[in-house]
A and B are shown apart, each in its own frame.
Chain A
Amino acid sequence: MKTQKIAALLRLNAIEMSHNAKAAHLASSLSCIDILTVLYEKILKINPKRPNEQHRDRFILSKGHAATSLYAILAYRGFFKKNYLKTYGKKGSLLEEHPTPKLNGVEAATGSLGHGLSVGCGIALSAKISSKKFKTVVLMGDGECNEGAVWEAALFASSKKLNNLYAIVDFNNWQGIGRTKDILQLHPFKKKWESFGWKVIEINGHDHKKIEKVFKNKKTNKPILIIAKTIKGRGVSFMEDDNNWHYRVPSKSDLIKAKRELGIK
């Protein structure tokens, strides 16, 4: 199946999970689903049958509130049965509103923002110490970059030359209750990361070819930061770039409309 088609399916999964569990953060998931689709379909060397295999590539969803995007792709790749998505947010389910490390395929407990990059640094460092070839990919939000811990980790990664570490920022220009630029100014974002010693690449975070290509880049001795320009709520016209969907839960009719727009029968 083409990755675009897969991404559409995953979007529907995320919308259904949000609808069923009456859980927030749908727009945050829709924002990064293209990135996750390409990562899990084209980039990450992982085996769902052996989720703890020591040479696997690692992915950390540092913006843990987008958990439904992660659950959708993990189910699609067979880390657990697709039916299990129906248990999202329910008592007894490991599919919590923020990922627990108890779930196969989850590399770190995220949900409190600003933790993932440091943990990713530790994992990347472990690969360096033991001469393993795997790569570590951490996905953060633009709002998440308010957290000081992100910048501590940014210093660490470049200082220790972790060129096996990729950080992606899902830059959708929104955070919890407002425009990123109106809350804590991140501009000039690219220059910030470059001055912290990272190689920075800007892409359209919904362009699957571009996302794939970033990882085929030439060798560098620096960690790599990918600024993925995205649209929050991407894929559903009435959710796109409307930050109300950071917290709003889709109704039955929203769900039907979204399904039609995504072209899924």
Chain B
Amino acid sequence: MRNAFAKAITNLAQKNKKIVLLSGDIGNKLFINYRKLQPKRFFNCGIAEASMTGVASGLAASGFQPVTYTITPFNTVRCLEQIRLDICYPNLPVIIVGTGAGLSYANLGATHHSMEDIAVLRTLPNMNIVCPSDPVEVELALKEALRIKKPTYIRLGKKGEPILNKNNSKFKIGKGIFLKRGKDIALISVGNVLPVVLEAEKIFSEKKISTSVINLHTVKPIDEHLLKKIFIEYKKIIVVEEHGLAGGVGSAILEWGNKNKLNLQKLICLGAPDKFLTSCGNQNEARHSIGLTAKEIFNKFKKH
């Protein structure tokens, strides 16, 4: 997804002269082309995320469309108050891009895990949160964020993710996508965990359970229309996210469902437990350790 982001922003900045790319001192090779083409609209802001976020606010207040880029936890919870007051309160068109969604950087240790970013950022008024599920959606998300001109957080994985989506020009922030239609079970996938959910779907299908797969790339605003339909049409709804269960997308759906008096017994929320993960290996191993695997998704459904 990182490479897709670099490519997309390089292309988009050719036409859109309002784009300014701010980096928190990462992406040296990644942005070679961008920097060559837009030397006046690239700034390495140093290892100073609070400052970078404030700078983005000032640029946006002056008519630009700044994009901040660094590792997910540092570009979100590290500089939370700057996001809250400098970006969300004045409702400025800043795009915050974090690389390292969930357990993408599992082996770098808990400092680099990002299991709270969605929970924290979705409490901020005016914020939009988009979690692309593959490199194709990275470009689509960036285009959309530039179009809506609102505070937007784009949660990237790392690099080398498989391509799972068609280049669907209908991609809209706030509108989930059906990747497969079944009748009984709805599997909702958020962001970078989609390959695991698609694998889980195969198990459901082998067991002759008719299953839909929904790519819920936008967490905020939540797709109310889609969720309403799902709660009416399906017997069980399973939401999977590579993020803490506390305050994550499952939690957002519970809040929404409670407000709308829906049968929340149908909902199974799968994500990370309330603890720091240490010595958890690489992303796959870390996913195993917290049950974010195709098999475990099916087992949890069985036990529910």
Contact = CB atoms under 8 A, between A and B. Distances in A.
| Chains A and B form a bound pair | yes
Interface of A: 54, 100-101, 107-109, 112, 115, 117-127, 129-130, 148-149, 152-153, 155-156, 159-160
Given A129-B40, A149-B50, A156-B45, A109 B85 contact: yes
B59 A159 contact: no
A119 B86 contact: yes
B56 A115 contact: no
B172 interface: no
Contacts of B190: none
B57 interface: yes
Contacts of B45: 156
B7 interface: no
Contact of B50 (A125, A127, A152): A152
A178 to B, nearest CB: 24
Nearest to A111: B85
10 contacts: A112-B81, A118-B55, A118-B82, A119-B61, A119-B86, A121-B58, A122-B58, A126-B58, A126-B59, A155-B51
B86 A155 contact: no
B89 A119 contact: no
A122 B50 contact: no
A54 B64 CA distance: 12
A54 B45 CA distance: 25
A115 B62 contact: no
Contact of A129 (B41, B46, B86): B41
Contacts of B55: 118-119, 121-122, 125, 153, 156
Per CB-CB distance, the 6 closest pairs between chain A and chain B, nearest first, are A122-B58, A118-B54, A126-B62, A152-B51, A122-B55, A123-B58
A155 B40 CA distance: 19
B273 interface: no
B162 interface: no
A124 B85 CA distance: 19
Q: Is the interface of A mostly helix, strand, loop or mixed?
A: helix
A90 B82 CA distance: 27
Contacts of B58: 108, 118-126
A107 B41 contact: no
A108 B46 contact: no
- Residue in A118, A120, A124, A160 with the greatest tally of chain B CB atoms within 10 Å: A118
B41 A119 contact: no
Nearest to B53: A118
A112 B50 CA distance: 13
Contacts of B43: 125, 160
- Residue in B20, B56, B58, B64 with the greatest tally of chain A CB atoms within 10 Å: B58
Contacts of B54: 115, 117-119, 121-122, 149, 153
A160 B22 CA distance: 13
A108 B20 contact: no
Contacts of B119: none
Given A101-B89, A109-B89, A122-B57, A127 B62 contact: yes
Contacts of B50: 118, 148-149, 152
A108 B59 contact: no
A22 to B, nearest CB: 25
Contacts of A149: 50-51, 54, 82
A129 B51 CA distance: 18
A166 B48 CA distance: 21
A155 B46 CA distance: 9
B255 to A, nearest CB: 27
B63 A54 contact: yes
A134 to B, nearest CB: 9
Given A126-B64, A155-B46, A115 B85 contact: yes
B63 A126 contact: yes
A115 B41 contact: no
A152 B89 CA distance: 22
B19 to A, nearest CB: 11
